[in-house]
Amino acid sequence: MGSSKKYFGLQGQTLGRLQMALIVAPSFILFGYNQAGIGGLITGEDWVKTFPEIDTVNATAADKSAKSTLQGFVVAVFVIGALFGSLSCSYTGDKFGRRNVIFVAGLCTLLGEILEASSFSLPQFIVGRVIVGLGVGQLSSLVPVWQSETSGAKNRGRHVVLDGLFICLGYVLESWINLGFFEFHTGPKTWRPPIAIACFFSLVLISSIYMFPESPRWLLMTNQNERAVENLSILRGLPRDSPEVRSEMEGIELSLEITSDGGAKISQILKMGEDKLLYRFGLCILLQFYQQMSGSNLISVYAPILFQENLHLSSEISKVLSAGALTWKFLSSFLAFAAIDRFGRRVCFMVSGAGMSCCMIALAVATSFPESNRSAQIAAGCFIYLYNMFVPIGFLGANFLYCTEVAPLRLRMAMSSISTANHWAWNFVVAMVTPVAIYSIGWQYYIVFAVIAACVPASVYFFYPETMGRSLEEMDLIFKQSPSAWDTVRYEKQLRSCGGVPRDLEEKKGGTEHKVEHSEG
């Protein structure tokens, strides 16, 4: 295999692990680190001196509402960049390839982090924050697609769920690093180095991306068939002419043939058609809405503020408890890693949604008591920790994974980028509203998230078909062959109970074993 030397001389699972360490890990550590990056800094002494426009610590009652709103905007402006970065991938991801766009995204995060860390005025900081968001938005949209397209069906869930684990690791690093530099108490060193440390992960990403194979599915889609076969054989660690490689290539080719009708125009996702594209797009949009509006970003980004202003604890204790809560969230991410390819995506989503809803209800009750009620404060802190156990099970990686699994190859990048942009749009809403909401309505704010999270189990049960263990091409055919959008979940269950694969895929491969005739219900 002539090209294998290009990729460290490695192939198969060993190359996949290195891809995880040098590309996936830095990409999603940057996601978590930069998203939560200033949540723990905005009450620091030198920070409020440098940016007095968003100083809510020393603000008078008359100014606090306006400054809270501006503070929310500064935190949320990162999300505006991420939204546009994510949307841009619907064009650039297919036009220029997965690796090229990931490289550009890494450059954006590096430039933005330099601007942020060197800021002496709020406008410069905001510009840096937008540019970082632009890069992170591209990474959040594109890296899960690249992972799904280069991973085998058996362990694809674990591979992509690791994204959530690395997002958590970014939150954890940010919170403990912020706490460490906070102990200096005064001077720029309390906030500039924590921001600048993120540059290390950007540099690792930029310097490593071209050491890994491009997506075979993208290569095949752009008529680079020889490279597609070569890259697939390297990724699977098998000879080019092996039955497994030939079979997978045939499946990808079939998927391209079936979804080629009408081209790959983005407008196609708004039409139902035989492929049920609108239904599949709706699944992606709703899932990313749930991820944000169940309160995940509220707890992760604003944990220090929740402990300090909502639970009335000291600044230092708030930072310690926040760092502990995010560390617990990171450890809980291993639950998703263990469950996603064992119990399936549906179970993970339903358990996560139910748990988040219960915790938000409890948090609303606990914070409704007067601030002098110490027992209620302790209970609220415990429910924040418990909430952080349920989030990663279904909504810190699996949501990105599922969107790539239900999208057809020709429109996978478009569906992924638009649904991820939807994720960032609701992220922006939460980031903007939270400082004002905590200040004005307090405990009632949590009820909104409790109600939305409670809708997750029912909608997943009725509308979200299981994707565990199926190739991306099999999922294409399941959506195409199911009698209707309403019956897709039931149709997939019937196939799974028979141990079968979709009819056309079996015929394409020329096999008869496990052949399942199409059922109308």
Average pLDDT, the chain: 83
512 belongs to a structural domain: no
- Residues 6-28 have a mean pLDDT of 83
507 belongs to a structural domain: no
Are 276 and 479 contacting, i.e. CB atoms less than 8 angstroms apart?
Answer: yes
Q: Is 499 exposed, middle or buried (0-12, 13-18, 19+ CB in 10 A)?
A: exposed
Q: Higher confidence at residue 172 or residue 138?
A: 138
521 belongs to a structural domain: no
Beta bridge partners of 515: 501
516 belongs to a structural domain: no
CATH number, domain containing residue 358: 1.20.1250.20
Q: Considering its fold, how many domains does the chain have in total? A: 1
Note the pTM of the prediction, 2 decimals: 0.79
471 belongs to a structural domain: no
403 belongs to a structural domain: yes
252 belongs to a structural domain: yes
pLDDT of residue 418 exceeding 60, the answer is yes
pLDDT of residue 515 exceeding 80, the answer is no
pLDDT of residue 132 exceeding 90, the answer is yes
Q: How confident is the model at residue 420 (pLDDT cuts 50, 70, 90)?
A: confident
Q: How confident is the model at residue 39 (pLDDT cuts 50, 70, 90)?
A: low
Q: pLDDT tens for residues 88-97? A: 998 898 889 8
pLDDT of residue 297 exceeding 80, the answer is no
Are 57 and 80 contacting, i.e. CB atoms less than 8 angstroms apart?
Answer: no
Q: What is the pLDDT of residue 395?
A: 87
Biggest CA–CA distance in the chain, Å, is 76
Which domain covers residue 415, as residue numbers? 13-463
pLDDT > 70: percent of the chain? 87
Q: How confident is the model at residue 501 (pLDDT cuts 50, 70, 90)?
A: low
State both tokens at 281: 């797009």
Distance in angstroms between the alpha carbons of the first and the last residue of the chain: 47
489 belongs to a structural domain: no
CA distance to 271, 303, 311, per residue, from 306 (Å): 43, 5, 6
Q: What is the rounded CA–CA span in Å between residue 116 and residue 112?
A: 6
Q: What is the pLDDT of residue 220?
A: 87
Q: What is the pLDDT of residue 201?
A: 96
Query: Residue 98: which of 204, 22, 209, 201 has the closest Cα?
Result: 209
Q: What is the pLDDT of residue 88?
A: 92
